[in-house]
Amino acid sequence: MFSARSRFWVLVSFVMMSGFSQGMLLPLLAIILEQNGVSSSVNGLHATGLYIGVLIASPFMEKPLQKFGYKPIILTGGLIMFIALSLFPVYHSIIFWFVLRLLIGIGDQMVNFASQTWITSTTPTNRRGRTIALYGLFFSLGFAFGPLMSRFLEIHESLPFIIAASLCLLVWILVWFIRNEFVADSDEIDKVQTTSTVQRFVTTTKLAWIALLGPLAYGILEALLHGIFPIYGLRIGHDVDMISLIIPFFSLSTLFTQVPLGALGDRIGRQKLLAIVTAIGAVIFLIGAQFEQSAIVLIGTFAFSGMLLGSLFSMGVSYMADIVPRQLLPAGNIMCGISFSLGSIAGPNLGGLFIDIFPNLSFFYMIVMILAVLSSLFFLKRKPMLNS
CA distance 101 to 57: 13
| Segment 358-381, tens digit of pLDDT | 888 888 999 999 999 999 999 887
- Which CATH number goes with the domain that contains 52? 1.20.1250.20
H-helix segments, 291-363: 295-309, 312-323, 329-357
Q: What confidence tens digit (pLDDT) does each residue in 36-51 have?
A: 888 777 887 787 888 8
Q: Give tens-digit pLDDT for 145-176.
A: 888 888 888 888 889 999 999 999 999 999 99
Q: Residue 31: its pLDDT value, please?
A: 83
Mean of the per-residue pLDDT values for the chain? 84
pLDDT of residue 191: 45
Q: Is residue 96 part of a domain?
A: yes
Query: Crossing angle of helices 329-357/312-323, nearest 10°?
Result: 140
**Does a structural domain hold residue 70?**
yes
Query: Alpha helices of 122-196 — where are they, by DSSP H?
Result: 128-145, 159-175, 183-187
Q: Which of 387 and 272 is assigned the larger pLDDT?
A: 272
Say if 31 falls within a structural domain.
yes
Instruction: Please give the Cα distance from 342 to 203 (Å, whole number).
Output: 19
**Who has greater pLDDT, 110 or 186?**
110
Residue-range definition of the domain harbouring residue 117: 4-178+193-380
Tell me how far the alpha carbon of residue 338 is from its chain's centroid.
Answer: 11
Residue 188 lies in a domain: no
Model confidence at 196: pLDDT above 70: no
User: Residue 67 pLDDT more than 60?
Assistant: yes
Greater confidence (99 vs 244) lies with 99
Assess if residue 9 is contained within a domain: yes
Asked if residue 186 belongs to a domain, the reply is no
- Is residue 23 scored above 50 in pLDDT? yes
At residue 156, φ and ψ (nearest 5 deg) are: -165, 140
Contact 53, 109 (CB under 8 A): yes
By residue count, the chain amounts to 388
Give the number of domains in the chain.
Answer: 1
Q: Is residue 184 part of a domain?
A: no
- Specify the pTM: 0.73
| Residue 74, pLDDT above cutoff 90 | yes
DSSP 8-class letter at 136: H
Q: How far apart are CA 293 and CA 165, in angstroms?
A: 35
User: How many Å apart are CA 256 and CA 306, to the nearest integer?
Assistant: 10
**Enclosing H/E stretch for 188:** none
Asked whether residue 218 is assigned to any structural domain, the reply reads yes
